[in-house]
């Protein structure tokens, strides 16, 4: 079956729209290249069929890549990085639990360990008054220094998911559990596929600048090609209409 002008224009139009959506994903990746624990997104395309003819394409999903980012040492005792699988659990203002790989934590006025947005870390223990220093062991034990002696103040557990790519992006570098991700399996770091915790370290974004720039360049060429097809088909359609009228 021959392809009509309208079908060609729809194919080109869908190509431009999907490329614009993909551009949003790449822009998000690039803007978060310095965000600790950020996981890059990738758009997946799906071809459309229309009356046994190729009908263009659409975005079938945006997939987030949960690969390990590089670890960077810091001087902050409450900077925590996960080496391996797992997430820190935080309590949202509405009581839900969110998960993150961003381990930049602080001590608030109530002596809670919180993230940059003030959401408290879900852990068993508390930082006592008079604590001079804090250190977190690889197994999650939170050690505090008081009066020249170290003692354990509690333990941080990690959450592991059967399918972490199925987590729902909440925003603010946080994720929510879904049916696709499976239920959170919480336990001690270093056990049952969970990674270990490194104190005075943060996990950097897993965005690769060179790769994203290559993707951006390829995306631009694809968009320009779809745009040229759309414009040329529109011109051909206009000429055909004028010839018919003439």
DSSP symbols for 4-30: PHHHHHHHHHHHHHHHHHHHHHHHHHH
- As a whole number, mean pLDDT of residues 62-67 equals 88
148: left (phi over 0), alpha (psi -120 to 50) or beta: left
What angle, rounded to 10 degrees, do the helices at 209-245 and 5-31 form? 160
Angle at 236 between CA 234 and CA 242, to 5 degrees: 105
* Tokens describing residue 14: 């869908």
User: What pLDDT band is residue 52 in, cutting at 50, 70 and 90?
Assistant: very low
> For position 20, what pLDDT does the model report?
77
All residues at 6 or more sequence positions from 70 whose CB lies less than 8 Å from its CB, including other chains: 203, 204
Number of domains in the chain: 2
Both 104 and 17 in a single domain? no
User: What pLDDT band is residue 226 in, cutting at 50, 70 and 90?
Assistant: confident
User: What pLDDT band is residue 217 in, cutting at 50, 70 and 90?
Assistant: confident
Range of the domain at 9: 5-66+207-245
Alpha helix locations (H) across the chain?
5-31, 209-245
Both 136 and 214 in a single domain? no
Both 89 and 199 in a single domain? yes
All residues at 6 or more sequence positions from 238 whose CB lies less than 8 Å from its CB, including other chains: none
Q: Residue 146 is inside which H or E element, if any?
A: strand 141-146
Both 91 and 189 in a single domain? yes
User: What pLDDT band is residue 244 in, cutting at 50, 70 and 90?
Assistant: low
């Amino acid at each position: 079956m021959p392809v009509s002008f309208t079908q060609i224009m729809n194919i080109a139009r869908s190509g431009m729209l999907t490329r614009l959506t993909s551009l949003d994903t790449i822009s998000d990746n690039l803007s978060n290249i310095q965000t600790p624990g950020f996981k890059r997104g990738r758009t997946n395309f799906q071809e459309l069929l229309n009356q046994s003819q190729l009908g263009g394409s659409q975005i079938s999903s945006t997939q987030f890549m949960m690969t390990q980012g590089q670890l960077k040492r810091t001087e902050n005792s409450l900077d925590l990085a996960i080496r391996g699988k797992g997430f820190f659990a935080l309590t949202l203002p509405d009581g839900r639990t969110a998960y993150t790989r961003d381990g930049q934590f602080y001590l608030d006025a109530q002596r809670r360990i919180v993230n940059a947005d003030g959401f408290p870390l879900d852990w068993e223990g508390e930082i006592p008054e008079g604590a001079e220093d804090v250190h977190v062991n690889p197994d999650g034990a939170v050690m505090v220094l008081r009066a020249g002696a170290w003692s354990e103040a509690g333990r941080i557990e990690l959450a592991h998911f059967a399918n972490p790519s199925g987590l729902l992006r909440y925003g603010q570098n946080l994720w929510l559990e879904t049916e696709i991700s499976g239920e959170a399996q919480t336990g001690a770091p270093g056990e049952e596929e969970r990674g270990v915790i490194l104190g005075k370290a943060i996990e950097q974004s897993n965005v690769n600048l060179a790769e994203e720039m290559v993707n951006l360049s390829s995306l631009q060429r694809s968009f320009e090609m779809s745009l040229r097809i759309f414009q040329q088909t529109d011109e051909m359609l206009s000429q055909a209409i004028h010839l018919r009228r003439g």
